[in-house]
Amino acid sequence: MIVYKGEMRVQWLLMRDRLIILLLSLGISFVNTGSAMPLNGAGGSPRLSPHRPVLSLGVFLSAKWCSKCKETKEVSEFNNLVASKDGKDRICRKCTKEKYDKNRATHISATITWNRNNKKKCLNNLRNYRKNMSDEQRLRCSVRRKLRYAVEKGKIKRGNCCVCNEPNGIGHHEDYSKPLDVIWVCDKHHKRHHRKEINLLDYV
């Protein structure tokens, strides 16, 4: 069995997409194909919609077209979106992050202004949240406070991501009974770990 990774896998998925388009032109029907989209650099030639259409023979499309950067990427590179036909956002994670970072200051300023103008409502929401917290949530909050305090006092040095070596990692707890025993990981790979796409213990 051949395993494709990285750019090679994306290119392989593109080749498979084009093969399926060829099969479509020969009259083989699809289910839930959605609307047509242009191929990258093809001058408006028809392309399959990136909605993971299912071929009657059981073949799935594993690539999706990003409407922001105009690139075809693996489906795993897109955030989940319940309202979408295929359950994935139309913009890839990289473009979503760039969009958020670009408007981050505006969002933070708007949030601070709203909180100042609605102090009573914010306080009531916070009280209700704490009141309805489970024992497990209380334990996690307590452990995270202890870790944050230890980092601020210099007892623990914040490390780099164990996967990609990105600085200023997030402290991931495998065991919440050990507040200062953490695995440092970036936000991207922390989320992938909780989605069970990777296992951080393999990188420690």
Give, in degrees to the nearest 5, the angle at Cα 50 between 49 and 51.
95
- Interacting residues of 122 by C-beta distance below 8 A, sequence separation 6+: 115
Element (H, E) at 44: none
- CA gap 115, 129 in Å, rounded: 16
User: What are the boundaries of each domain within the chain?
Assistant: 6-96
What is the Cα–Cα distance from 121 to 119, expressed in whole angstroms? 6
Residue-by-residue pLDDT tens, the chain, 204 positions:
454 455 676 677 677 767 776 766 665 544 443 433 333 333 333 333 434 433 333 445 567 888 899 888 888 888 888 887 778 888 999 999 998 888 888 989 999 999 999 999 999 999 998 899 999 999 999 999 999 999 999 999 999 999 999 998 999 999 999 999 999 999 989 989 998 889 999 998
| pTM (predicted TM-score) | 0.48
Residue 126 backbone zone (phi > 0: left; psi -120 to 50: alpha; other: beta): alpha
Determine the pLDDT at residue 21. Answer: 66
* Two tokens, residue 6: 């990285």
- For residue 144 the two structure tokens come to 């995270």
Q: Quote the pLDDT of residue 119.
A: 93
At CB < 8 A and 24+ separation, what contacts does 66-71 make? 66/90, 66/91, 66/92, 66/95, 67/91, 68/92, 68/95, 68/99, 69/94, 69/95, 70/40, 71/40
Chain-centre distance of CA 41, in angstroms?
A: 27
Q: What is the pLDDT of residue 5?
A: 53
